[in-house]
Structure 1
Amino acid sequence: MTDLLRSNLLVPCDRFLSQVDGARLDCVSDAVAVLLAHRAVPDVRAVFARDWRFELRDMPTGPAQVALPPDDQDERLARRTGWRLDWRATDPGTAVDHWRAAPAADAPIVVVGDAYHLPWLPYYRREHMEHGFVVDGLGTDGTVHIVDPYENPTEWGRAVPTVTGVDFDTLTPALSAGRWAMLTATGTAPEPGDPRGQIAANVAAVRAAADSRAYERFVADHAPAGRLELENLTLQTWLIARNRSLHARWLADLPAGATDAGFVARFARIERGWHRAMESAYLALRRVRSGRRAPGAALDALRAATTAEVELARAPGSGQE
């Protein structure tokens, strides 16, 4: 840290950790939230939390996946904040040269790499998966200063918000197929928030998803309850549960009169239902991995969560008519 300060390449971002929902966002989005907080975006929760959707991505093989984060998230963030992510592929051979200019220009960066090679995570040398973190400083001794707001319980221990320094050579294996970005100003004012309009748009989107049978297809895709389906279901319900938890907190924080209190209370039950589905899917996956048959509780919990979500969207008054 002393070397980082001496090199004048530190843009300390750890002070923004308390503003970020590291336990509710995915690992890339929470790193992006740190960058937005650094740019003084006043509410880095709302810009991620205000959407309630159920959109599917069809996969070449295997069951469908939910579009979380949404495919157009970068565009949504640009409209809502006035800041756009400029993504670039990471070349470990030239990364330091590119990154060095960013903190010097008061511009921390978000990096996405392979969690298997990131020593501060419980996934280290255990599981390959994309993981996002913030680089807010580079030392002349090759130390990369990292701020990681991510929080999640895993089977190998809990990932917790972390501030650390890692030698660049240690970090290099994680970067070979990675990417990085900094924020650039769009030059346009952020769009104003409209909670009632947003809620109406959300309800309409969920009704449309139900009408297109997206929920039914998602359940049917996972009904075989084999290892492939349960591995996918565990990840998908994890994403949905975190997303619904974030949205529930946004609804609860709205000022009085912005929405109906009954709708907020019913959405809180939706959130709990997805957490039960996530826990049931994980337990079923562990049973299948041990050679046993999946219990029916996993699909029961999934059906209950999807049914409750559709019923809320279709309930009279949910669209704030």
Structure 2
Amino acid sequence: MTAAPAIRAELLDCFQSNLAVLADRYHGPGTHLRLGAALRLRTRPGPYGLPTVEPSLDEALADAADLLGLALAQKWPGADGDWARSLRETAWVVADAYHLPWVPYHGQRHIEHSFLAEPDGDGALAVTDAYHNDTPWGAARPTRLRLEREELAAVLDTGPVRAFRFDPTPLAPTPPRPTRLGPSQEEVRVSSAEADAYLRPYAEHPDRGPALDQFTMETWLLARSRRLRAAYLAQWTAGTPQPVEEHLARWDGLVEYTYLTSRRVARGRAEPPDLLARAAELLRADPEVLSGGDRGAGDVGAANAVGAAGGGRPSPEQVASTVTGIVGRVLGIREVPAPDIDLAGLPAFNSLRMLEIVDRLEEDFAIEFGPGDLLPERLHRIVDLCELVERRLNGGAG
């Protein structure tokens, strides 16, 4: 296995990540950040009759041509094992991740996924997959591996596969060099009407489980595209301005909030009333924060613990000890940070682990958190987790 590609994979979706590898290979490091040159609320019909911002294959190919200097030179709409056996050039491949053994979705979920395949010596192919994501089935990280042609042929024979070859072309001009925070607001086109039209079907969908499951994917895609936009702007600034960092942190918080809400509604718990309102506030703030000008984001806004207390209410010290122990076990760390340290700064902490911590707290303390308790800003520090547990033990509402 050779080194994985050096791109900002954590900012990109499963189509963009491997187009980014080609763009940097042909045009130099950092070219892939041009994908953040403009920010749109580009929607299309998605699952359950809901709109989605997930790019279609045609949109990904258009962005490759318009932004990355990648001209489509050849396509194989029905690539299969025979195609892999005879491959003689670098190809960008789109297949069902369910059949790809190097990704966590293998055998778990049907979803379109891209990778690069190219000759790598006699009888072998190099597979590059720069995708970066944490999934319920494990972590996907940028990788490059060597497969025998027959190995990849067997994978491609399992389902429909499309493959494409690109030629490098001169890069088209991007928006002018930003002044202050970025280019003009013309490069961030997200109107209030567009935001409302996008979110309304999610608010009105009668089946809340599927709607929230899909909205979890939506917030993940939205947050990534905004971080990509910020990375593009940061090429002309000394770091990311504080208002932008705060706005991005709110987007990350919305991703966590949506994931927690979706998982708990699927278990019959109540849905918080402000989830989609938070999303609308962030979408409306995008043009102000991620365009030009110097304005900020504004106000967008172990043993069972009860048993350890001898069958009665645990003491604050016992609560703190149990909460700390749960955090340490879930995150797999021996030295748990101080109670007021943000857990989001730990490599092992993510939305999946946060949900596991919440579930363990409810189980160990024999409590149930309310929808108002699950705001991300209440779940990132041990001291705040202790406060939530104490309030529930004392009969407080959430």
Please give the range of the TM-score, normalised by the shorter of the 2 chains.
0.7 to 0.9
Relative to structure 2, which stretch is displaced further, 274-283 or 306-315? 306-315
Render the CA deviation track for 1:81-107: whole Å, top value 9, x for unaligned.
4431344313315312552x21xxxxx
Q: Distance in 1 between matches of 2:290 and 2:34?
A: 22
In 1, are the aligned partners of 2:85 and 2:153 still within 8 Å (CA)? no
Distance 1:29 1:199, change over 3 A: same
Name 1:200's counterpart in structure 2: 184
Please state whether the residue corresponding to 2:39 is helix, strand or coil: coil
Relative to structure 2, which stretch is displaced further, 282-291 or 305-314? 305-314
Name 1:44's counterpart in structure 2: 31
1:192 to partner: Cα distance: 5.6
Q: Distance in 2 between matches of 1:288 and 1:173?
A: 38
1:60 to partner: Cα distance: 8.4
Question: What is the aligned length?
Answer: 287
Name 2:227's counterpart in structure 1: 245
Name 1:273's counterpart in structure 2: 250
Of 31, 48, 54 in structure 1, the residue corresponding to residue 18 of structure 2 is 31
Distance 1:285 1:249, change over 3 A: same
Distance 1:157 1:254, change over 3 A: same
1:302 to partner: Cα distance: 1.7
Bigger relative CO (Cα 8 Å, ≥ 6 apart): 1
Please state whether the residue corresponding to 2:163 is helix, strand or coil: strand
Alignment of 1:139-154 (within 5 A): 140-141=122-123, 143-154=124-135
Q: Distance in 1 between matches of 2:244 and 2:284?
A: 13
In 2, are the aligned partners of 1:203 and 1:313 still within 8 Å (CA)? no
Please state whether the residue corresponding to 1:183 is helix, strand or coil: strand
Name 2:196's counterpart in structure 1: 216
Matched, 1:183 2:171: no
1:115 to partner: Cα distance: 0.7
Name 1:85's counterpart in structure 2: 72
Name 1:298's counterpart in structure 2: 275
Relative to structure 2, which stretch is displaced further, 287-296 or 60-69? 60-69
Distance 1:190 1:309, change over 3 A: closer
Render the CA deviation track for 1:51-96: whole Å, top value 9, x for unaligned.
1112222458522112647964534433444431344313315312
Name 1:121's counterpart in structure 2: 103
Matched, 1:168 2:152: yes
Distance 1:296 1:192, change over 3 A: closer
Of 283, 286, 297 in structure 2, the residue corresponding to residue 309 of structure 1 is 286
Please state whether the residue corresponding to 2:108 is helix, strand or coil: coil
**What is the one-letter code of the residue matched to 1:153?**
D
Please state whether the residue corresponding to 1:113 is helix, strand or coil: strand
Please state whether the residue corresponding to 1:195 is helix, strand or coil: coil
Distance 1:281 1:60, change over 3 A: closer
**What is the one-letter code of the residue matched to 1:90?**
G
Name 1:155's counterpart in structure 2: 136
What RMSD over aligned residues (CA atoms) do the two structures have, in Å?
Answer: 3.1
Name 2:5's counterpart in structure 1: 17
In 2, are the aligned partners of 1:62 and 1:228 still within 8 Å (CA)? no
1:278 to partner: Cα distance: 1.4
Q: Distance in 2 between matches of 1:119 and 1:196?
A: 42
Q: Distance in 2 between matches of 1:315 and 1:244?
A: 14
Q: Distance in 1 between matches of 2:230 and 2:290?
A: 14
1:43 to partner: Cα distance: 2.9
In 1, are the aligned partners of 2:94 and 2:161 still within 8 Å (CA)? yes
Q: Distance in 2 between matches of 1:71 and 1:285?
A: 30
Larger Rg: 2
In 2, are the aligned partners of 1:89 and 1:178 still within 8 Å (CA)? yes
Q: Distance in 2 between matches of 1:243 and 1:282?
A: 18
The normalised TM-score by structure 2 is 0.63
**What is the one-letter code of the residue matched to 2:82?**
T
Q: Distance in 2 between matches of 1:285 and 1:34?
A: 33
Q: Distance in 1 between matches of 2:12 and 2:129?
A: 12
Q: Distance in 2 between matches of 1:129 and 1:60?
A: 12
Alignment of 1:102-113 (within 5 A): 102=89, 108-113=90-95
Q: Which of structure 1's runs of 4+ aligned residues deviate more than 6 A?
A: 313-318
The normalised TM-score by structure 1 is 0.77
Distance 1:312 1:249, change over 3 A: closer
**What is the one-letter code of the residue matched to 1:183?**
F
In 1, are the aligned partners of 2:54 and 2:221 still within 8 Å (CA)? no
In 1, are the aligned partners of 2:16 and 2:60 still within 8 Å (CA)? no
Q: Any gaps of 5 or more consecutive residues in structure 2?
A: 296-398
Q: Any gaps of 5 or more consecutive residues in structure 1?
A: 2-13, 103-107
Render the CA deviation track for 1:237-285: whole Å, top value 9, x for unaligned.
11111111111112122157xxxx9x94433333222222211111111
Q: Distance in 2 between matches of 1:181 and 1:35?
A: 12
Distance 1:189 1:148, change over 3 A: closer
